[in-house]
């Protein structure tokens, strides 16, 4: 059921503002991507020109060519993000679930604690964790950077599952148990299938958190673990806008694809009757 | 061991990792041949040891032209001739220093064989004894190096002393657009007048290149580079920097954005210049104009400009870390980089346009001719001008102090 | 304490532990007990840093940018959620477009913002083509500007898509029934919005709004691309000190880290307090 019919004047102005807003949304969603695309192939694009003077696919060719910095960084970023997504969903679930059982003042403490890694400024987090990384000998390694990504990612996942399990109706689980199923069976054959969409979203959350990290990768990785955002940053600082824009688009596309893939997988799963 | 989070597990992991690292570190010295030792051996045996090995080179990878030269010209040739697999990995000076400091403290095994360094980085590494050496003087191609030149002989007034091998040389220059500014100012005084006559059309960045510009001002306004040679002198610094900051205060209201904000780095300054927001940019490498015009990042009418008061010139080098796993391979690569063939290729305008550290009069005749005949891009500067206006770098402390004082007095002192 | 409470609190501790460790280290470093350039216990460094004008102007600037972008993003999200609620094609298109920027990393958005909003950016060039201006200096400065407008716009754009997502799900799950009830009781549209829709939206959005505020105040990469050099935003100042060649200044960074954490903690605490008060009225 839609919004209640308004008076005629308001209706017309509502329709016009809706159209305007729709146009504005289209422009705002698409123009940055178009701009990045043009920059990634443009040569000699100076004020006041609206179009680049000439086009080159050099940066795209380099990105997928042999020994390309961007290709390597893309691989590193993907590996980190997938690992973070999986780990944070797996770890965030039990943590969020346990916190959902809290009542009274422990609940406030729990919620605030879960918020902490999400709220901590990335630069603060990175500098604070740097010494621990150095002590553990993982500074400047893939593993160290992965751990540093997990800190905010697990926080987001825990917070997310806290919300999920607060609303979750446990009676189905209880019924399954009264029917004689063991806890593990209940978990894997009842709860997880019910919460497939949420698991997918938690994975996506962890993936995106890791995907976009700059400060933690920079500080903990010591500049040696090259992720795609780091390369975009480096190219920007070197004045190589074309390469930076190519990298930036390569940052966007997998994230969009992952979003689509998770929704697709979840939709298909939900279509299956339980 | 309990598996609850926050229990004693992390500390066990920590100590195990540390112990393992130390054990590994303790194993290292027995296996590793240092470059200093290798330099005493006949060159053929060094080449033989390096054959079939791989070399990891940590260097700045921000310029596609440099990357193309290293990845697509140098690497295939060292592979074909010496059987060395060369891999270049991103790393700037401070990052390299941090990495080596950490590896040294943890006694960890090295991961880098060759590093691209100069100036402050070299100074820091030498002070902490993080570089292997001496080895550079023993390279066969070192005989061609222009060791008479103060620019190549010294690295920011420090003696390489064989701990780093020269690779290329550059000189600070302003960049202007010959279409917009047909008659650019050629001295600091003329530049000052130009700025006042064209408000909002000049600025400098807040990082390395911008501070180098301040150093140029220091030499020009402070009585010449000779006053600042021979180590850091705080009295001379105080006098000279006072003049620099006075000059800045006088001209600052006519800077871009009224001098209230400065572009973060030189890349941003290039963008402002290319897009007509300002009429000057600057670069530590006088030939950056050539490569950036070729890449379509600067307009085709951009030209480099040397100030007659003198601009800073220096060389950049390659070094071998104290814990390099493959010092022999690194030495062979460093020698190849010094070869007339590699230096000539590097200097080509369409490749990198980086100056050579070789002395033409020390080269075999046919090579000297090739360097002379090198088709010069009309945008590049004639070598005699370069030589005439070149001034060596002085103690890195001048640079550090100028940077700190600029932040304190100029960047923040907007009120 | 019940067993469930104990386990729950331990779980919360596990999540918060890295942050606590990092904060602890920063506290020790600020007091001079550890870290680069440390000289033994003393409040000197703490005092020196907190007395610097540049620190407070940087903090204030970051808070201003956070407040402005969060407000703009929230207003946009509420507007779109209220207007495009139905299941018509235009509604669903609008919702998709609003959420599309979500997977775009902030760095990519900042690059686009720089190329669009600079004095010689695409917007200025469009205006030049229309004859409104002829040189970049005639374009009002939106990047590297003291007001931080370009950064605010860019971050508002990104956060709008996040807040819109949350707003849509709030409206979809809770809004309809209560609004219907209000309308059958005779309330007009404006009243329905003011007394039913808006409070619901606000309650559902509040945690997200706080998260966005905290995020924008502390984000590094977008700020590095678009912010001015004076006032120097807190995250930029922090990283600058942490990587300073002068080891003595590196210790300053930890004081700034604590400052940043304090802002986050205050925001989170305020949110918890507000939420607990509202929870009392939960139907």
B140 vs chain A: nearest CA distance in angstroms? 30
Torsion on CA atoms A262, A265, A266, A271, rounded to nearest 10: 160
Among the listed residues B216, B236, B240, B395, the one whose alpha carbon sits nearest the alpha carbon of residue B309: B216
SS3 track for B250-274: HHHHHCHHHHCCCCCCHHHHHHHHH
Say which of A43, A137, A238 has its CB closest to residue B63: A238
**Distance of alpha carbon C122 from alpha carbon C118, whole angstroms:** 8
**A·C CB contacts under 8 A:** 264
CB B304 within 8 A of CB B177: no
**Distance of alpha carbon C178 from alpha carbon C196, whole angstroms:** 7
Strands of chain A, DSSP E? 42-43, 54-55
Say yes or no for a CB contact (<8 Å) between B264 and C136.
no
Tell me the chain B residues in contact with residue C144 when contact means C-beta distances shorter than 8 Å.
257, 261, 263-264, 268
The edge-to-edge listing of strands for the beta sheet with B173-177 is: B280-283, B173-177, B302-305
Tell me the chain B residues in contact with residue C141 when contact means C-beta distances shorter than 8 Å.
257
CA B22-B25-B27 angle, to 5 degrees, is: 115
The reported pLDDT for the residue numbered B31 is 57
Tell me the chain C residues in contact with residue B277 when contact means C-beta distances shorter than 8 Å.
118-120, 136-137
**Which neighbouring-strand residues pair with B392?**
B313
Say which of B64, B95, B102 has its CB closest to residue A243: B64
Which among A261-265, B188-192, B398-402, C182-186 has the top mean pLDDT? B188-192
Say which of C145, C224, C230 has its CB closest to residue B412: C230
Mean pLDDT score, A132-151: 86
Reduce the DSSP state of residue B55 to 3 states and report it: strand
| Higher per-residue confidence, B117 vs A112 | B117
A107 vs chain C: nearest CA distance in angstroms? 8
pLDDT, tens digit, 9 for 90 and up, residues B202-261 = 999 998 899 999 999 999 998 888 888 888 889 999 999 999 999 999 999 999 999 999
B119 vs chain C: nearest CA distance in angstroms? 13
**Distance of alpha carbon B163 from alpha carbon B321, whole angstroms:** 9
Tokens of C74: 């929230």
**Distance of alpha carbon B67 from alpha carbon C84, whole angstroms:** 50
pLDDT at A135 over 60: yes
C200 vs chain A: nearest CA distance in angstroms? 16
* Centroid of chain to Cα A38: 25
- Which segments of A68-180 does DSSP mark as H helices, in order? 69-100, 105-119, 122-136, 142-167, 171-178
Tell me the chain A residues in contact with residue B295 when contact means C-beta distances shorter than 8 Å.
43, 240, 242
B116 vs chain A: nearest CA distance in angstroms? 15
Burial of B415 per CB tally in 10 Å (0-12, 13-18, 19+): exposed
B140 vs chain C: nearest CA distance in angstroms? 36
**Distance of alpha carbon B151 from alpha carbon A215, whole angstroms:** 37
Say yes or no for a CB contact (<8 Å) between C11 and A124.
no
| Higher per-residue confidence, B124 vs A83 | A83
Lowest mean pLDDT among A60-74, A192-206, B8-22, B117-131: B8-22
Lowest mean pLDDT among A119-128, B215-224, B373-382, C200-209: B373-382
Instruction: Considering only the C-alpha atoms of chain A, give the largest distance between any 2 of them, rounded to a whole number of Å.
Output: 75
Among the listed residues B64, B345, B271, B297, the one whose alpha carbon sits nearest the alpha carbon of residue A58: B64
pLDDT at C283 over 50: no
The reported pLDDT for the residue numbered C194 is 79
Instruction: Considering only the C-alpha atoms of chain B, give the largest distance between any 2 of them, rounded to a whole number of Å.
Output: 78
Tell me which chains share at least 3 CB pairs under 8 Å with chain B.
Answer: A, C
With a CB cutoff of 8 Å and minimum separation 6, the contacts of B16 are none
CB C222 within 8 A of CB C151: yes
Among the listed residues A124, A142, A117, the one whose alpha carbon sits nearest the alpha carbon of residue A209: A117
C204 vs chain A: nearest CA distance in angstroms? 12
CA C114-A214-B321 angle, to 5 degrees, is: 115
The reported pLDDT for the residue numbered C282 is 47
Which residue in A has a C-alpha nearest to residue B102's C-alpha?
A: A134
ω before C231 within 30° of 0 (cis)?
Answer: yes
A128 vs chain C: nearest CA distance in angstroms? 4
Helix pair A241-271, A228-237: axis angle to 10 deg: 160
The pairing of beta strand B390-392 with beta strand B311-319:
parallel
Tell me the chain A residues in contact with residue B10 when contact means C-beta distances shorter than 8 Å.
136
Average pLDDT, chain C: 86
Say yes or no for a CB contact (<8 Å) between C120 and B272.
yes
* Centroid of chain to Cα B259: 28
C85 vs chain B: nearest CA distance in angstroms? 43
pLDDT at C24 over 60: yes
- Residues 66 to 95 of A: which have CB under 8 A from any C CB? 94-95
C271 vs chain B: nearest CA distance in angstroms? 27
Query: Does ipTM top 0.90?
Result: no
Say which of C5, C9, C97 has its CB closest to residue A26: C97
Q: Is A56 in the C-facing interface, judged by CB distances under 8 Å? A: no
Say which of C10, C232, C243 has its CB closest to residue B6: C10
**Distance of alpha carbon C176 from alpha carbon A1, whole angstroms:** 8
**Distance of alpha carbon C158 from alpha carbon C72, whole angstroms:** 11
Reduce the DSSP state of residue B315 to 3 states and report it: strand
Say yes or no for a CB contact (<8 Å) between C118 and B200.
no
Q: Which of A224, A228, A235 to mutate to test the interface with B (most CBs of B within 10 A)?
A: A224
With a CB cutoff of 8 Å and minimum separation 6, the contacts of A179 are none
Say which of B13, B71, B271 has its CB closest to residue A136: B13
**Which neighbouring-strand residues pair with B158?**
B155
Tell me which chains share at least 3 CB pairs under 8 Å with chain C.
Answer: A, B
- Which segments of chain C does DSSP mark as H helices, in order? 3-30, 44-51, 53-83, 89-99, 106-117, 122-129, 149-170, 176-184, 189-192, 198-218, 221-226, 234-242, 247-250, 252-279
Say yes or no for a CB contact (<8 Å) between B299 and A237.
no
**Distance of alpha carbon A130 from alpha carbon A115, whole angstroms:** 21
Say yes or no for a CB contact (<8 Å) between B257 and C232.
no
Say yes or no for a CB contact (<8 Å) between B264 and C224.
yes
Reduce the DSSP state of residue B390 to 3 states and report it: strand
Say yes or no for a CB contact (<8 Å) between B92 and A223.
yes
A36 vs chain C: nearest CA distance in angstroms? 6
Tokens of B365: 């005749």
The reported pLDDT for the residue numbered C128 is 94
**Distance of alpha carbon A233 from alpha carbon A228, whole angstroms:** 9
The reported pLDDT for the residue numbered B29 is 42
**Distance of alpha carbon A237 from alpha carbon B265, whole angstroms:** 7
Reduce the DSSP state of residue A125 to 3 states and report it: helix
Say yes or no for a CB contact (<8 Å) between B91 and A47.
no
The pairing of beta strand B302-305 with beta strand B173-177:
antiparallel
**Which neighbouring-strand residues pair with B85?**
B54
CB B107 within 8 A of CB B79: no
The reported pLDDT for the residue numbered B2 is 38
CA C132-C160-A239 angle, to 5 degrees, is: 60
CB A61 within 8 A of CB A41: no
Say which of A49, A111, A248 has its CB closest to residue C125: A49
CA C166-C171-C173 angle, to 5 degrees, is: 95
**Distance of alpha carbon A125 from alpha carbon C113, whole angstroms:** 26
Tokens of B402: 């100028």
Average pLDDT, chain A: 84
Tell me the chain B residues in contact with residue A42 when contact means C-beta distances shorter than 8 Å.
296
Say yes or no for a CB contact (<8 Å) between B276 and C135.
yes
**B·C CB contacts under 8 A:** 59
The reported pLDDT for the residue numbered B17 is 46
Q: Which residues of C touch B (CB under 8 A)?
A: 10-11, 13-14, 17, 53-54, 118-120, 135-137, 141, 144-146, 224, 228-230, 232, 243, 245-246
Say which of A103, A245, A255 has its CB closest to residue C111: A245
CB A235 within 8 A of CB B62: yes
Among the listed residues B258, B260, B297, the one whose alpha carbon sits nearest the alpha carbon of residue B281: B297
**Distance of alpha carbon A227 from alpha carbon A211, whole angstroms:** 9
Q: Is B161 in the A-facing interface, judged by CB distances under 8 Å? A: no
The pairing of beta strand B164-171 with beta strand B311-319:
antiparallel
B183 vs chain C: nearest CA distance in angstroms? 21
Say yes or no for a CB contact (<8 Å) between C228 and B261.
yes
Q: Is B21 in the A-facing interface, judged by CB distances under 8 Å? A: yes
Which residue in B has a C-alpha nearest to residue C225's C-alpha?
A: B264
Tokens of C5: 């409470």
Tell me which chains share at least 3 CB pairs under 8 Å with chain A.
Answer: B, C
pLDDT, tens digit, 9 for 90 and up, residues C84-103 = 888 888 888 888 889 888 88
**Distance of alpha carbon B4 from alpha carbon C65, whole angstroms:** 41
The reported pLDDT for the residue numbered B182 is 94
CB B273 within 8 A of CB B180: no
The reported pLDDT for the residue numbered B333 is 95
| Higher per-residue confidence, A74 vs C251 | A74
Tokens of B377: 């891009």
What letter does residue B382 receive in the DSSP assignment? Answer: P
Matching residue, tokens 């090295």: B110
Reduce the DSSP state of residue A57 to 3 states and report it: coil
Tokens of A104: 């009274």
Among the listed residues A159, A147, A78, the one whose alpha carbon sits nearest the alpha carbon of residue A114: A159
The reported pLDDT for the residue numbered B119 is 76
Percentage of chain B with pLDDT > 70? 90
Say yes or no for a CB contact (<8 Å) between C22 and A120.
yes
The pairing of beta strand B54-59 with beta strand B85-90:
parallel
What letter does residue C232 receive in the DSSP assignment? Answer: P
CB C105 within 8 A of CB C190: no
Among the listed residues A59, A104, A30, the one whose alpha carbon sits nearest the alpha carbon of residue A243: A59
What letter does residue B303 receive in the DSSP assignment? Answer: E
State pTM to two decimals: 0.85
pLDDT, tens digit, 9 for 90 and up, residues C239-278 = 888 877 677 777 888 899 899 889 888 888 888 787 777 6
Tell me the chain C residues in contact with residue B272 when contact means C-beta distances shorter than 8 Å.
120
Among the listed residues B37, B29, B24, B67, the one whose alpha carbon sits nearest the alpha carbon of residue B331: B37
- Residues in chain B, pLDDT under 70: 1-31, 375-380, 413-415
The pairing of beta strand B85-90 with beta strand B114-117:
unpaired
Tell me the chain B residues in contact with residue A135 when contact means C-beta distances shorter than 8 Å.
14, 18
């Amino acid at each position: 059921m839609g919004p209640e019919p308004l008076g005629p004047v308001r209706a017309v102005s509502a329709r016009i503002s809706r159209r305007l807003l729709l146009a504005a949304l289209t422009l705002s969603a698409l123009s940055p991507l178009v701009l990045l695309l043009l920059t990634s192939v443009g040569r000699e694009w100076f004020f006041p020109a609206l179009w680049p003077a000439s086009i080159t696919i050099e940066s795209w060719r380099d990105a997928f060519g042999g020994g390309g910095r961007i290709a390597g960084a893309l691989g590193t970023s993907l590996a980190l993000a997938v690992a973070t997504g999986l780990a944070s969903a797996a770890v965030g679930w039990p943590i969020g679930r346990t916190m959902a059982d809290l009542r009274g003042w422990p609940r406030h403490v729990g919620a605030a604690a879960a918020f902490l890694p999400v709220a901590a400024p990335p630069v603060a987090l990175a500098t604070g964790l740097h010494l621990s990384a150095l002590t553990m000998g993982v500074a400047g390694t893939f593993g160290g950077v992965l751990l540093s990504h997990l800190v905010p990612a697990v926080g987001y996942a825990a917070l997310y599952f806290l919300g999920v399990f607060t609303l979750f109706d446990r009676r189905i689980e209880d019924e399954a148990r009264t029917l004689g199923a063991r806890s593990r069976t209940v978990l894997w054959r009842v709860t997880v299938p019910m919460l497939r969409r949420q698991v997918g979203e938690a994975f996506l959350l962890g993936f995106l958190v890791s995907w976009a990290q700059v400060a933690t990768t920079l500080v903990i990785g010591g500049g040696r673990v090259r992720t795609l955002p780091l390369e975009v940053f480096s190219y920007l600082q070197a004045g190589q806008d074309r390469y930076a824009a190519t990298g930036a688009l390569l940052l966007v596309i997998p994230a969009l694809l992952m979003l689509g893939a998770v929704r697709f997988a979840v939709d298909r799963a939900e279509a299956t009757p339980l | 061991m309990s598996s609850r989070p926050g229990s004693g597990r992390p500390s066990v992991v920590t100590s195990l990792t540390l112990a393992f690292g130390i054990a590994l570190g303790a194993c290292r010295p027995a296996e590793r041949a240092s470059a200093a030792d290798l330099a005493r051996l006949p060159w053929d045996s060094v080449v033989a040891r390096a054959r079939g090995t791989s070399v990891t080179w940590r260097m700045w990878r921000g310029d596609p032209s440099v990357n193309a030269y290293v990845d697509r010209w140098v690497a295939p040739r060292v592979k074909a001739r010496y059987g060395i697999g060369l891999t270049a990995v991103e790393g700037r000076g401070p990052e390299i220093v941090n990495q080596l400091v950490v590896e040294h403290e943890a006694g960890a095994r090295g991961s880098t064989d060759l590093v691209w360094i100069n100036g402050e980085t070299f100074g820091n590494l030498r002070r902490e004894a993080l570089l292997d050496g001496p080895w550079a003087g023993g390279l066969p191609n070192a005989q061609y190096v222009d060791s008479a030149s103060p620019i190549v002989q010294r690295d920011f007034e420090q003696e390489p002393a064989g701990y780093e091998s020269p690779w290329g040389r550059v000189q600070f220059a302003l960049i202007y657009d010959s279409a917009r500014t047909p008659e650019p100012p050629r001295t600091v005084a003329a530049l000052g007048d130009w700025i006042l006559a064209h408000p909002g059309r000049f600025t400098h960045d807040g990082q390395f290149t911008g501070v180098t510009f301040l150093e140029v001002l220091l030499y020009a306004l402070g009585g010449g580079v000779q006053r600042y040679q021979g180590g850091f002198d705080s009295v001379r610094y105080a006098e000279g920097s006072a003049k620099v900051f006075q000059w800045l205060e006088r001209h600052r209201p006519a800077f871009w954005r009224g001098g209230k904000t400065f572009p973060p780095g030189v890349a941003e300054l290039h963008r402002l210049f290319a897009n007509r927001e300002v009429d000057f940019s600057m670069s530590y490498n006088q030939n950056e104009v050539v490569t950036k015009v070729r890449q379509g990042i600067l307009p085709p009418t951009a030209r480099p400009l040397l100030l007659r008061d003198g601009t800073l010139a220096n060389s950049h080098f390659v070094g071998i870390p104290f814990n390099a796993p493959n010092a022999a391979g690194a030495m062979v690569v460093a020698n190849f980089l010094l070869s007339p063939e590699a230096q000539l290729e590097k200097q080509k305008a369409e490749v990198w346009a980086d100056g050579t550290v070789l002395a033409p009069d020390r080269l075999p005749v046919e090579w000297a001719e090739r360097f002379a005949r090198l088709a010069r891009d009309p945008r590049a500067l004639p070598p005699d001008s370069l030589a005439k206006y070149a001034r060596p770098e002085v103690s890195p402390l001048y640079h550090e102090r100028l940077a700190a004082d600029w932040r304190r007095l100029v960047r923040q002192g907007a009120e | 304490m019940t067993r469930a409470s104990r386990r729950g609190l331990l779980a919360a501790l596990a999540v918060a532990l890295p942050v606590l460790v990092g904060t602890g280290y920063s506290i020790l470093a600020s007091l001079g007990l550890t870290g680069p350039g440390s000289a033994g216990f003393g409040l000197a460094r703490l005092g020196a840093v907190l007395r610097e004008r540049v620190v407070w102007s940087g903090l204030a600037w970051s808070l201003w940018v956070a407040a402005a972008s969060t407000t703009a993003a929230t207003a946009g999200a509420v507007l779109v959620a209220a207007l495009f609620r139905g299941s018509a094609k235009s509604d669903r298109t609008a919702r998709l477009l609003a959420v599309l920027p979500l997977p775009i990393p902030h760095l990519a958005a900042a690059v686009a913002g720089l190329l669009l909003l600079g004095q010689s950016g695409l917007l200025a060039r469009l205006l030049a083509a229309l004859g409104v201006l002829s040189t970049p200096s005639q374009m009002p400065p939106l990047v590297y500007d003291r007001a931080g407008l370009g950064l605010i716009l860019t971050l508002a754009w990104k956060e709008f898509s996040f807040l819109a997502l949350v707003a849509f799900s709030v409206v979809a799950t809770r809004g309809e029934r209560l609004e219907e009830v209000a309308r059958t009781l005779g309330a007009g549209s404006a009243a329905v919005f003011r007394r039913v829709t808006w409070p619901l939206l606000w309650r559902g959005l509040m945690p997200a709004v706080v998260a966005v505020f905290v995020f924008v105040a502390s984000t590094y990469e977008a700020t590095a691309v678009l912010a001015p050099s004076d006032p120097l935003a807190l995250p930029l100042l922090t990283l600058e000190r942490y990587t300073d060649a002068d080891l003595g200044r590196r210790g300053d960074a930890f004081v700034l880290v604590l400052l940043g954490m304090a802002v986050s903690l205050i925001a989170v605490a305020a949110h918890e307090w507000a939420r607990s008060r509202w929870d009392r009225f939960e139907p």
